Amino acid sequence: MKSKSLIQLFLRQPMLYCLLFAFHLSLSSSPALAQYNVTHMGKPYNTAGSETGAIRVGDTILSFASMPPSSDGGVFGFNNTIMQLYQARISRDGKVARPKPNRWNLNSKKDHTGNLAVDPVSNDLYFTRGDVETLRCDIWFAQKKKKRGWEKPVRLPGAVNHKQYTATHPTVGRLNDSTVLLYFVSDRSGGYGGMDIWYSIIRNGMAEEPVNLGPMVNSSADEYTPFYDQRNGILYFSSDRAGGKGGFDIYCAVGSRNTWQKAEPACGCLNSEQNDLYFTITDYEPASGFPIGGYLSSNRKDSYFLSDSMCCNDLYRWSIDSSMLSVNKDTLPDTSHLSPFHIPPRTLFPQRRARPAQPRQRDHSRLCRLPAALCPAAQRVSGAPAHCRGLRTDAAVL
Q: Where are the domains of the chain?
A: 3-330+352-397
Residue 306: predicted pLDDT: 76
Write down the pTM of the prediction: 0.77
Whether 64 and 54 have beta carbons less than 8 Å apart is answered as yes
Per-residue model confidence (pLDDT) at position 245: 85
Per-residue pLDDT of the chain (398 residues; tens, 9 = 90+): 433 343 344 334 545 545 555 544 444 433 333 356 889 999 999 998 899 999 999 989 999 999 987 665 555 455 568 999 999 999 988 899 999 999 999 999 999 999 999 999 999 999 999 998 888 999 999 999 988 899 999 999 999 999 999 999 999 999 888 899 999 999 999 999 899 999 999 998 899 999 999 999 999 999 999 999 999 899 999 999 988 888 899 999 999 988 899 998 885 668 888 899 999 999 988 888 888 899 999 998 888 877 666 678 999 999 886 565 554 444 433 433 332 322 222 222 222 333 333 333 333 232 223 223 223 333 323 232 222 222 233 444 57
- Residue-wise over 321-348: b if at least 16 C-beta within 10 A, else e? ebebbebeeeebeeeeebeeeeeeeeee
Dist. CA 179–CA 25, nearest whole Å: 32
How far, in Å, CA of 246 to CA of 275, rounded?
7
- Kindly report the length of the chain: 398
Tell me which CATH homologous superfamily contains domain 3-330+352-397: Glycosyl hydrolase domain; family 43 (2.115.10.20)
| 25, 124, 260, 375, 380 from 30: Cα distances, Å | 9, 40, 31, 6, 12
Per-residue pLDDT, 303:
85
Longest Cα separation, the chain = 62
pLDDT of residue 73: 52
* pLDDT at residue 370 in the model: 29
